[in-house]
């Protein structure tokens, strides 16, 4: 899609873009730059496309053809029915991570009746997708989130505002900013890809923040740290839920059991992969 032969209409622009990249990606990029809908594109393909928009589309198509994720090009991604701003400062929310939200909501539903305002914590919140989704579905809850990266924290705070929810954000490593605080449910989607894993070079991952993908070691370092510190931040009977890699469920269950967690189990995502493992801290809630 050369910039010296810019298309004059949205229909022509879509056809040209689709010769370079996936047809759906081409349509979404066109809708992004032209401010049109799919219905408009189908019903009025002859609608004029401004030269500036055509040039912008050409540049975005070139970047998409080079492997850059679509979400970064349009600046947003959907997750659990909401829309989140994203940039290369944060990971793009994945559909499989929605399992973590679903399990946390289920745990809240099973809390004792006297827990009127459950306390939830999301560690390494990134874009804020998990924390904001929980807050949106649990208006009665107190949701907190921790993130080390200032750039990511700015995005997560903005996403909470855009989606009209209240989340208490903290900057720091894991539980460090929350000394003395305890929660009913702690969730985390930490870096769990092992250094050197070939997946880091595939499917657009080279464009995403590597420190949010890999711990630089065996992929379990962050999971170990969270499991070790969690007992000091959970109420009796509280739950810890951790997303992990496709081949790490057994190792995470061992970590949880060795730390003293009970009712330890792993849960499968829609692809049938054990994606989230968790357990309860012993005891009966006195809240």
State the binding site for S-adenosyl-L-methionine: 124-128, 147, 174, 189
Cβ–Cβ < 8 Å for 133, 80: yes
Three-state secondary structure call for residue 72: helix
Cβ–Cβ < 8 Å for 173, 215: no
Residues sharing a CB contact under 8 Å with residue 181, sequence separation 6 or more, in sequence order: 144, 233
| Binding-site residues for substrate | 189-192
Distance CA 26, CA 123 (A): 35
Helices and strands: H and E segment counts in the chain: 10, 9
| Binding-site residues | 124-128, 147, 174, 189-192
**Which pair of tokens denotes residue 229?**
């510190």
The single-letter DSSP state of residue 246 is T
């Amino acid at each position: 899609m050369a910039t010296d032969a810019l298309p004059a209409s949205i229909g022509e622009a879509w056809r040209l873009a689709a010769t370079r990249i996936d047809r759906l990606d081409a349509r979404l990029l066109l809708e992004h730059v032209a401010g049109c809908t799919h219905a408009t594109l189908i019903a009025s393909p002859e609608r004029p496309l401004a030269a500036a928009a055509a040039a912008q589309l050409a540049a975005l198509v070139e970047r998409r053809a080079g492997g850059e994720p679509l979400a970064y090009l349009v600046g947003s991604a959907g997750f659990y029915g909401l829309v989140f701003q994203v940039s290369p400062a944060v990971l793009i929310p994945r559909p499989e991570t929605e399992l973590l939200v679903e399990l946390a909501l289920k745990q809240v539903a099973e809390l004792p009746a006297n827990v009127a305002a459950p306390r939830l914590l999301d560690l390494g919140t990134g874009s804020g997708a998990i924390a904001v989704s929980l807050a949106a579905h649990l208006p009665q809850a107190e949701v907190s989130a921790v993130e080390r990266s200032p750039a990511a924290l700015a995005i997560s705070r903005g996403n909470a505002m855009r989606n009209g929810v209240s989340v208490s954000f903290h900057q720091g490593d894991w539980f460090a900013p929350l000394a003395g605080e305890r929660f009913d449910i702690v969730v985390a989607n930490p870096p769990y890809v092992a250094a050197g894993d070939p997946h880091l070079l595939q499917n657009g991952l080279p464009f995403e923040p590597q420190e949010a993908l890999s711990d630089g070691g065996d992929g379990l370092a962050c999971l170990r740290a969270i499991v070790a510190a969690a007992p000091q931040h959970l109420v009796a009977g509280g739950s810890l839920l951790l997303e992990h890699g496709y081949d790490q469920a057994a190792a995470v269950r061992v970590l949880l059991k060795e730390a003293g967690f009970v009712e330890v189990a792993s849960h499968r995502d829609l692809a049938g992969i054990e994606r989230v493992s968790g357990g309860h801290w012993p005891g009966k809630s006195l809240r």
